[in-house]
């Protein structure tokens, strides 16, 4: 099975001489094609820093990170931009939709920038919006949508270019429980049916229970991991809560 993320001995320091803090130290991480991996940990543990390094938003102080066989941190800005556009999909808590574009135009933006033929654009948007149940909303603008509809629009945009890796940062953080469940069910279906590879940072044990594997970070290192395997989701949820209690917080306050 193809390796999508390979991080080896990753270290990240912040600050300057005399005032240096260690955000990550000696992180080893492998994500295979078709995995849905969650990252959890207390506030300040380094989980968001790790996601930023994998997205090439920041650079590691030491170590290496390869995404789909490529080392983003040896590329120039133009190469990184093209790689992100072609290989990575992003899903954030605050949606990042453009208010002046319709739902359809927001979803198609990555493909339009890549100059994909119009016929292909139409096929893909129909397929993706059907998966996320937002086909009737294509002509609407973001201000006309609920939070859940906005996030499903953002998710459609994240996957329409068929990226090698989808990076999600607290994707359910601003959603009510029904909207969060709808989004997670759609992501799970995308993972299981289309073999999409997802890496999600979350503080929410319920959201993490949809993952096939969950990594827990504490003080910049990987504390432990849980693999779902054949465990039912509700039982996996309880296991996640048990680890969070050891880390020093419950489902709602571990961020």
The more confident residue out of 138 and 174 is: 138
Beta strand ranges found along the chain (DSSP E)? 3-16, 19-32, 36-40, 62-67, 70-71, 88-92, 165-169, 198-201, 213-218, 221-227
Structural domain for 195, as ranges: 3-253
Q: Are 9 and 62 in contact (CB under 8 A)?
A: yes
Residue 253 has pLDDT above 70, yes or no: no
What confidence tens digit (pLDDT) does each residue in 198-225 have? 999 999 999 999 999 999 999 999 999 9
pLDDT digits (tens, 9 = 90+) for 77-99: 889 888 888 899 999 888 889 99
Residue 219 tokens read as 């003080």
Dist. CA 121–CA 104, nearest whole Å:
10
53 near 10, Cβ under 8 Å?
A: yes
Is 250 a residue whose pLDDT tops 50?
no
Query: Distances in Å between the alpha carbon of 6 and those of 75, 91, 116?
Result: 17, 21, 29
- Residue pair 183/152 in contact (Cβ under 8 Å)? The answer is yes
How many structural domains comprise the chain?
Answer: 1
- The sign one gets for the Cα dihedral 55, 59, 65, 66 is positive
Tokens representing residue 239 in the block? 């296991």
Average pLDDT over residues 238-254: 75
Q: What is the CATH number of the domain that holds 181?
A: 3.40.50.300
**Residue from 107, 116, 3, 118 nearest 64 by CA:** 3
* Helix, strand counts (H, E) of the chain: 8, 10
Q: Can you tell me the distance from the alpha carbon of 159 to that of 132, in angstroms, rounded to the nearest whole number?
A: 11
Is the pLDDT score of 130 beyond 50? yes
Neighbours of 163 (CB within 10 A): 21
Q: Tell me the β-bridge partners of 225.
A: 215
Query: Strands (DSSP E) along 77-230, which ranges?
Result: 88-92, 165-169, 198-201, 213-218, 221-227
């Amino acid at each position: 099975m193809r390796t999508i993320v390979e991080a080896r001995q990753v270290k990240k320091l912040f600050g300057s001489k005399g005032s240096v803090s260690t955000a990550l130290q000696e992180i080893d991480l492998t994500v295979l094609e078709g995995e849905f991996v969650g990252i959890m940990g207390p506030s300040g543990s380094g989980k968001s820093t790790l996601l930023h390094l994998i997205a090439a938003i920041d650079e590691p102080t030491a170590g290496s990170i390869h995404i789909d066989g490529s080392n983003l941190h040896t590329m120039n800005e133009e190469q990184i931009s093209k790689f992100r556009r072609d290989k990575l999909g992003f899903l954030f808590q605050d949606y990042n939709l453009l208010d002046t574009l319709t739902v359809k135009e927001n979803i198609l933006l990555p493909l339009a920038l890549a100059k994909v033929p119009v016929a292909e654009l139409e096929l893909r948007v129909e397929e993706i919006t059907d998966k996320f149940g937002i086909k009737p909303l294509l002509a609407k603008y973001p201000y006309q949508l609920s939070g859940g509809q906005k996030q499903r629009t953002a998710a459609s945009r994240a996957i329409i270019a068929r990226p090698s890796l989808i990076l999600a940062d607290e994707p359910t953080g601003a959603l009510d429980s029904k909207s969060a469940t709808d989004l997670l069910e759609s992501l799970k279906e995308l993972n299981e049916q289309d073999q999409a590879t997802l890496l999600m940072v979350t503080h929410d044990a319920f959201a993490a229970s949809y993952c096939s594997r969950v990594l827990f970070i504490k003080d910049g290192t990987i504390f432990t991991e849980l693999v779902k395997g054949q465990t039912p989701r509700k039982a996996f949820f309880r296991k996640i809560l048990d680890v969070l209690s050891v880390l020093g917080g419950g489902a709602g306050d571990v961020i």
